[in-house]
Amino acid sequence: MQEIISFYGYKKLDISNALVVTGFPTVGMVGTIAPRFIINTLKLDPIGAFSSDFFHPITVVSKGRPLPPVRIYGGRKKCGIDGGCDQIVVITSEFFPPTNVMRPLANKILEWCEKRNCSSIVSVEGFNMANGGKEVPLYGVASTKNGRAFLKNQKVKLMEEGMVSGISGVLLYEGEIKKFNTMCLLAGVHSDFPDARAAAKVLEVVNKMIPEIEIDPEPLYEEAGKIEEEIEKHMEKAKPRSPFIQVSPMYG
């Protein structure tokens, strides 16, 4: 059998020790807004893509370039005066793969990161709050003790008991098994509409993971309304234009 998911590299880049941020379109669009903000702020370039016959057949046009639905973005290492070097890689998509392709995709991402000696994966998520106060609540889960210690240091409340579904969920438990540090940050959101403030909250923590790189989430707070509107318009466009004929199941 052919592999279900294949990787294509746009450009070779040494991403050893990089922090990999993953985001998919969960509630509040936190997994869409945060990766997009990082890519724009750090001016990251597409460095690769995962593709599959089972992903949504669509191209995402970015700066005029047509790219596959699941993309990998990266930039150069930034080194500080103390010799420390940081780098961020972002894996994101506007679409979910089908349920049964989520674990294969998560495992492909993990394998890809391990092979390139990336340091950690942070997946960004939202969760629905029944009713919330002023402060955006933030929970964290990590696959390793080091990851949990780091989150504690950053004053992120650790989820002790609970569940995380989707690609983030599989990245966490497979990361635990493979002893690869996967972290998940879940920000509370008020609705299914884009919530830029929740995304900003998540980025505050991501920012502290990479001392040599500055991702100031301030603009996300200031222009929350504008950003949310833009994202919503964008997602609107993402709705399929083609009257997809219903698939009938086939023989094997």
Which residues between 2 and 41 bind its own copies (CB under 8 A)? 2, 4, 8, 24-27
* Contact status: 51 vs its own copies (CB under 8 A): yes
* Contact status: 245 vs its own copies (CB under 8 A): yes
CB of 184 to its own copies, least distance (A): 8
* CA trace torsion 141, 123, 50, 12 (10° rounding): -110
Rounded to an integer, what distance in angstroms lies between the CA atom of residue 132 and that of residue 84? Answer: 39
* Contact status: 229 vs its own copies (CB under 8 A): no
List Cβ neighbours of 184 (8 Å cut-off, separation of 6 or more). 122, 123, 124, 125, 140, 141, 142, 164, 168, 171, 172
Taking CB under 8 A as the rule, which mask of x and - marks residues 141-160 in contact with its own copies? Answer: xxx----x---------xxx
Task: Return the residue of 14, 192, 216, 222 that touches its own copies, per CB under 8 A.
Answer: 192
Contact between 81 and 211 under an 8 Å Cβ cutoff? The reply is no
Q: Which of residues 58-117 bind its own copies (CB under 8 A)?
A: 58-68, 94-104, 106
* Contact status: 247 vs its own copies (CB under 8 A): yes
CB of 84 to its own copies, least distance (A): 28
Select from 197-205, 207-215, 217-225, 238-246 the region that touches its own copies (CB under 8 A).
238-246
Task: Find residue 7's DSSP bridge partners.
Answer: 50
The pairing of strands 120-128 and 182-189 is: parallel
Residue 72 or residue 213: which is nearer to its own copies going by CB?
A: 72
* Contact status: 195 vs its own copies (CB under 8 A): no
List Cβ neighbours of 77 (8 Å cut-off, separation of 6 or more). 14, 85, 86, 87
What angle is formed at CA 9 by the lines to CA 8 and CA 12, rounded to 5 degrees?
Answer: 165
